[in-house]
Amino acid sequence: MRTVSALLALMLAGSAAACSSSKSSSSASSSASASASASASASASASASASASSASASAGAANSVPADPAAAKTEITTNWEKFFDPNTPIPDKAKLLQGGDVLLPALQGFSQDPRVGQVQAKVSDVGFIDAASATVTYSLSLQGNVVEPSATGQAVLDNGTWKVSRSTLCGLLTQAAGASGTPIPGCS
């Protein structure tokens, strides 16, 4: 479970705890080898959540897309990648997250990991579920090497801004908590 937590901390934390380039290569290697399985587990959790949401959303809003799908896709891509960018400050990440004000303590907690700055996300596809939600397919990279080529999550239109969904972040954090049963601030 510790390796899952480490990967998620790397993905979610901001520049508050940027890692130094002098970290040992053995630590980076163990993180890299564990991250592929952790990413796959987190991706499966987010994918299941997205599939369930997709099924219920399509029942009520079949074939509904935003008024300007190209602009929405651009905003989703930009905001998603910025949220998972280690250089984005925590308060800015909270603005890109559905319910970010409630989830701010969780974001701040993960920002304390000293290995921040090694993981980034790159969006490869956005598929609209309806006019206010989309499935996002993205790759996760650890130190520039892709460790999960097709993770999925959801973006939602919240007060006029496309954001990373609360369910996506909570799914990742719940996966990190594993069997510990530790409640995650803002997710319970």
Quick one: three-class SS letters along 15-50?
HHHECCCCCCHHHHHHHHHHHHHHHHHHHHHHHHHH
186 is a domain residue: no
33 is a domain residue: yes
Rounded-to-integer distance, Cα 119 and Cα 87, Å: 11
183 is a domain residue: no
Residue 95 has pLDDT above 80, yes or no: yes
Q: How confident is the model at residue 17 (pLDDT cuts 50, 70, 90)?
A: very low
As a whole number, mean pLDDT of residues 173-187 equals 73
As a whole number, mean pLDDT of residues 135-160 equals 92
Q: How confident is the model at residue 128 (pLDDT cuts 50, 70, 90)?
A: very high
Q: What is the pLDDT of residue 177?
A: 67
Q: What is the pLDDT of residue 136?
A: 98
46 is a domain residue: yes
Residue 164 has pLDDT above 90, yes or no: yes
Cβ neighbours of residue 36 closer than 8 Å, sequence gap 6 or more: 147, 148
187 is a domain residue: no
Q: Find, among 179, 168, 180, 187, the residue nearest to 52 by Cα.
A: 168
88 is a domain residue: yes
Q: What is the pLDDT of residue 105?
A: 86
19 is a domain residue: yes
Looking at the 3D structure of the chain, how many domains does it have? 1
Q: Which domain range does residue 135 map to?
A: 2-178
Rounded-to-integer distance, Cα 54 and Cα 38, Å: 24
